[in-house]
A = this chain, B = another copy of it.
């Protein structure tokens, strides 16, 4: 298996409600940014992570569409879907295409255009990541599912609503230093707790937003990276994925995200890195409780200790385990198919020392964790600057 490196990263100038751009415009802006950042003049193959082009925009066949609008026909172009882990799964597909020797320069993008449908329709589209026959069918939507996860965690470990709010406060503080963030305003625990209740105990400021956006990376064989790249290349030490039951109610442990724990264990083994050798983490904080459960699944804190660790400031930039320096899904935004790719964009920029005000000092190794649904799929990448 060939080693694989990332030589270019790109995103839209700003994520948010991009009314003047269609899905293809959004993708092309991010992809051109990545191509320019890499300094390559062509790509050999493309992958596009996208959760639900059909329900959000009436468009499937998204790989070929994006190859066309990026001027890259006739390269192979495939769309990858794993709900909100679509972006991470797309990077893993691109990783294997380069690792296998099939292609040398692969563009992996992720995109979602979520604001062109009503809020009700967006909620319906997102609910297709849950079990349609047993969860969505009975009327539960994602805030409801994550609210159940929060209640279970509070019941088992004494996690508090203030600790949930502390995740949002920290991520908005980080996002306030990210020019691309959709919601860069700073907030306080009081702001969160006095915001409207969406699904008890989750307030609206515990929830990631509806976002239009895209992100892209350029991959190549590691042994060609230094020759090809115009910016510091970053090696992909591990690219792993795991699945779990589609329905939350089928899990053996309602307070755990087992797919993340399993993908992380495989990634630590593949990379030869322990959690304490990793300098920063971009994780899937679709709701504040998710970040706490993911910290535990990654082995960054003991089971049940996620809430207190966040509240104590241990996950801030400059602290021992910096999590979501980008602002996370919560502040940066969560265009579902793009998120997994954007996490990698953030880590690459951090490892290059190019993150400005939100730089994690001296970062050399980073981890991304991207998940779909209530954790029916998780993708983990570990990256190291070359």
Could you tell me which A residues sit within 8 Å of B by CB distance? 1-2, 22, 24, 51-55, 57-65, 67-69, 72-83, 89, 92-93, 96-97, 99-102, 124-125, 128-133, 136, 240-247, 250, 258-259, 262, 372-373, 376-377
Contacts and interface: CB of A to CB of B under 8 A. Distances in A.
Given A82-B61, A246-B61, A74 B258 contact: yes
- Shortest 5 CB-CB contacts between residues of A and residues of B: A76-B241, A100-B100, A64-B376, A61-B83, A59-B132
Given A68-B245, A68-B376, A61 B129 contact: yes
B377 A64 contact: yes
A22 B128 CA distance: 15
21 contacts: A1-B102, A22-B133, A51-B60, A53-B128, A59-B132, A61-B83, A61-B372, A62-B81, A63-B82, A63-B243, A64-B83, A64-B243, A68-B243, A68-B245, A72-B243, A74-B242, A74-B243, A76-B240, A76-B241, A96-B97, A100-B100
Given A64-B377, A65-B376, A100-B1, A136 B58 contact: yes
A54 B127 CA distance: 10
Given A57-B132, A74-B242, A64 B82 contact: yes
Given A55-B55, A77-B377, A78-B92, 19 more contacts: A51-B60, A54-B125, A54-B128, A60-B81, A61-B129, A61-B372, A62-B81, A64-B83, A64-B376, A65-B131, A65-B246, A68-B243, A68-B244, A73-B259, A75-B242, A75-B243, A78-B80, A80-B81, A96-B97
A89 B83 contact: no
Nearest to A93: B93
A120 to B, nearest CB: 14
Given A63-B243, A68-B376, A81 B82 contact: no
Contacts of A77: 82, 241, 243, 377
A20 to B, nearest CB: 14
